[in-house]
Each structure stands twice: as structure tokens, then as C-alpha cells.
Amino acid sequence: KAKEKGRGKREFFKGEMNAFTLERLKLEGYLRKAIQKGELQPYFQPQLCMKTERITGFEALLRWNHPELGLVSPMQFVPLAEEIGLIDDIGRFVLFESCKQLRHWHDEGAHHLSISVNVSGRQFQRLSFVYEVKEALQASGIPAECLHLELTESTMIHNVQYSISIMQELRELGVKLSIDDFGTGYSSLSYLKDFPVDSLKIDQSFIRHLSDDFFNTSDAAIIKAIIMMCEGLSLTTVAEGVETYEQMKLLREYGCHTAQGYIISKPMPANEAQLFLDEFYTIKNSTS
Ligand code: C2E
Ligand code: MG
Ligand code: MG
Ligand code: MG
């Protein structure tokens, strides 16, 4: 009898699949409540102009801090949010919060700062997306050109003609567009001339191994080629994941416009980002 019961149980749980489903259901339930509970918060990572050595703006990177699970990575919960239809609320939340934060920095006197917001595929494909962007600009009162939206190649090529028309509408608002993680997606160069974008973010996988090392010249070659191509297309280049001074030096030599990465700062909560700005300019002014 005990044997039969045991077998039945094993039948019911059928390997790890059900345990996985259970975990996932729990995660889903938690995520559904995360916004109301204030567990979601954008962090901000500074972007540095290579020429002027000034902070030009921040990228908003979402964080989920759950009391039981701890800090959950956006790489985990963003795809889940897309799947269960929560990305609409979450995307809207990040967009509005980020614009509001930028307005605060502008009010403090840092009028030149921009804010970059990541847009997921589902969020971008929604009919109300342009309207939402317009609303976020109106609610915060920031100039449209200070809002940069980051799109990935897979988002844009999902439905090319539709994507181009939405991108044109966004640019008519004055918003800037950039291609995130460039080089990791489909990277069809022919699309680059059709998509109305302003800047391109070189994926960190190319930056990671960039060094003066004679034996690793391929990443350098790719980075240089991307920067040269962008020059011809009048696109601004942003290097993501810059971790060393050597990488910084090389990127500057290659003519990359903007750097973002741990060498400058990790993403941080709004109040820390504010302190970072204050300190950054205090140090800079006392040394220059
Ligand atoms: P991403 O937009 O390409 O963001 C860059 C990622 O690289 C961030 O990871 C950032 O923390 C990390 N990073 C920055 N500098 C360095 C560095 O020097 N070294 C290394 N190793 N990593 C660095 P994070 O914050 O975990 O975000 C991961 C991805 O999740 C983002 O990639 C983006 O695709 C997505 N994501 C984040 N926030 C949002 C959001 O609000 N909405 C949407 N739709 N996606 C988001
Ligand atoms: Mg990004
Ligand atoms: Mg990226
Ligand atoms: Mg990335």
C-alpha cells in the first residue's frame, strides 16, 4: 500500500517540471504585487562624454527587491513580465518614474542631463505606446530630447514597417532613439539605414575583452568598425560595460562618444546618483 502511495506521489510530481511550475507560479504571484508594494525601483547608471568628461545622463535600470527572494535580476523578471502581460504596467512605471527623476535633477540645475529608458518588445508593439510616452513627457515636463528610448534589434525587426512608423512618431515628439546591445542580435546592416535612430550602444560582450593585448585584436577591430560606420551614418556611439581605464583609453582613441560601465559607476538608487553627481563635479572642479 505504502509502495502504491509512493508511486502515486511520484506520478503526481512527475520529475522537476512541477516543482519548477510551482516556483514560477510563486514568482508570478509576487511580481503581480511588486509595483503596489513598492518593491520595484529604477536604479541609475551614469553615462560619461569622452570629450568633455562630463556626465551627460543616466540609464534607468529596473531593480526588484523582494523581502523573501532578495534582489531579483531584470534578466529574470522582465521576460516573465512580458510573458504574463505585466510588462505594460511595469514599463509604464519605469518610464514615468525615470522622467520624474530627471525632472527633479533638472530642477536642481543639471539641465543638460538625459535619461535612457529600456523598452521591451511587447511594450513597444502596443498601440498605446506613443501615447504613453507623450503622457510621461507631459506629466514630468522634461524636454522631449532629454528622453532616450533604448530598443533592441529583435524588437525592431519583429515587424519592420510598423516599427519604423512608431519610431518616426516618437522622433516627431522629439524623443531620441538608440539601439541597445548592438552586435548581438540579427545586426542586419541594411536595416540600420532604414531605422530612424540617433545612437547605438555597442554591446558589452565586445568591450569585455578589449585590451592592448596583441593577441586579442578581433574585438578591437569590430568596435572600430562599428564606430566608423556610425560616423558615416551620423549616429552617436555609446560603449556599455566599460570596466577598466585601458578600455576607456582605447575607446576614446577609436572615437567613441560616450562610456557607461562600472569604471564610472554601478547603477545606483536615485539618492545615491544625486550624491554621485555632486561629488563628481566637486572633484572635477578641484582638479581642473
Ligand atoms: P542593458 O539595457 O543592456 O543594460 C546593461 C546591463 O549591464 C545592466 O544590467 C547593467 O547593470 C550592466 N552593466 C553596466 N555596466 C557594467 C559593467 O561595467 N560590467 C558589467 N559586467 N555589467 C555592467 P542589469 O541592470 O542587470 O539589466 C539587464 C538587462 O535587463 C538590461 O540590459 C535590459 O535589457 C533589461 N532591463 C533593465 N531594466 C529594464 C527596464 O526598466 N525595462 C526593460 N524592458 N528592460 C530592462
Ligand atoms: Mg539598455
Ligand atoms: Mg545594453
Ligand atoms: Mg544588455
Q: Name the more confident of 256 and 213.
A: 256
Q: Name the more confident of 69 and 254.
A: 254
Compute the distance from residue 181 Cα to the ligand 4 centre, in Å: 5
- Check if 71 has its Cβ closer than 6 Å to any atom of ligand 1: no
Lowest mean pLDDT among 3-7, 191-195, 233-237: 3-7
Best of 44, 61, 90, 181 for a ligand 1 pocket test (most atoms within 8 Å of beta carbon): 61
Q: How confident is the model at residue 22 (pLDDT cuts 50, 70, 90)?
A: confident
Give nearest CA residue, ligand 1 atom 41.
62
* Mean pLDDT (whole number) for 14-37: 81
- Encode pLDDT of 109-129 as tens digits: 999 999 999 999 999 999 999
pLDDT of residue 58: 98
Residue 167 sits at the vertex; the CA angle it makes with 188 and 203, to the nearest 5 degrees, is 45
Q: How confident is the model at residue 2 (pLDDT cuts 50, 70, 90)?
A: very low
- Check if 167 has its Cβ closer than 6 Å to any atom of ligand 1: no
- Whole-model pTM: value is 0.92
* Phi–psi pair at 37, nearest 5 degrees: -80, 0
pLDDT of residue 24: 84
CA atoms within 13 A on the CB side of 32: 9
Lowest mean pLDDT among 103-112, 244-253, 274-283: 274-283
**104 has a pLDDT exceeding 60:** yes
- ipTM score over 0.95, yes or no: yes
